[in-house]
Amino acid sequence: MTTAKRRVRMGMIGGGEGAFIGQVHRLAAALDGELELVCASFSRDPDNNARTGEACGLPERRLYPDWQSLIDGERQLSDDERMDVLVVVTPNHLHVPISQAALEAGFHVFCEKPAATTLADARRLAATLDAGDCLYGLAHTYLGYPMVWQARRLVRDGELGRLRKIHVEYPQGWLGTRLEATGNKQAGWRTDPDIAGPAVAWRISALTPSAWPNSSRATMSASCALPSAFITNSGASMMTATPCSARPRAPAAP
């Protein structure tokens, strides 16, 4: 007799009505039928939370008002009912506190990038992972693009020679208009450095696909971003060096 394989029970924090990436995760989770959404706290707005929960078919008792109550509530359920993994799709500044709390409660975590907005928070999260045995996944969707895998193969096979420079652009046309000034919540947090983090955290979408094919860990980075880049829409430029990078060298003294 064959026992049917049960689906992985998934919880979600963030991704309510009007958000972008939460719905993407829900659609992706439904592709192979191996995950099921069983609980969530979609939004701090009660009406938004309720509407999104209803649209996702969640029972009211598994729809929580905030992330703290979700983790506490799920922890009190039996092993055959509570969630297995928590998907974190909130604004960036909440990634570490939510992920850390879930890991410490014994739940696996799949988090949107970036993992953290400060080095101190990243180290704190790493310490939590080292101290426990829960799994932690970080979403880097662009690593699934066939072009990135092809680039990785070309680099590894030496078909491009020794790489000296990789130029990557990640234009955001919507920044040409101050949408945050119109009350757009998505634009509001993405242009706030205290929530979105510094440019290196926000531009991870460009950094990861360029660094991964090269399989080199950055040893030095310099940011040329204007202090007010998020507010003036000036943009930001970053240079990252790896062990094989070409570097300027000062002329030898006569």
Single pTM value for the model: 0.79
* Residue spans of the chain under pLDDT 50: 219-220, 222-233
Say whether both 64 and 172 belong to one domain. Answer: no
Say whether both 170 and 134 belong to one domain. Answer: no
Say whether both 63 and 186 belong to one domain. Answer: no
Structural domain includes residue 75: yes
Say whether both 134 and 147 belong to one domain. Answer: no
- Residue 166: per-residue pLDDT: 76
Structural domain includes residue 53: yes
The alpha-helical segments, DSSP class H, found in the chain are 21-29, 46-55, 67-75, 95-104, 119-131, 146-156, 185-190, 193-196, 199-202, 204-211, 229-232
Say whether both 92 and 176 belong to one domain. Answer: no
- Residue 164: per-residue pLDDT: 76
- Residue 151: per-residue pLDDT: 85
- Residue 3: per-residue pLDDT: 59
Structural domain harbouring 38: 8-139
Say whether both 35 and 122 belong to one domain. Answer: yes
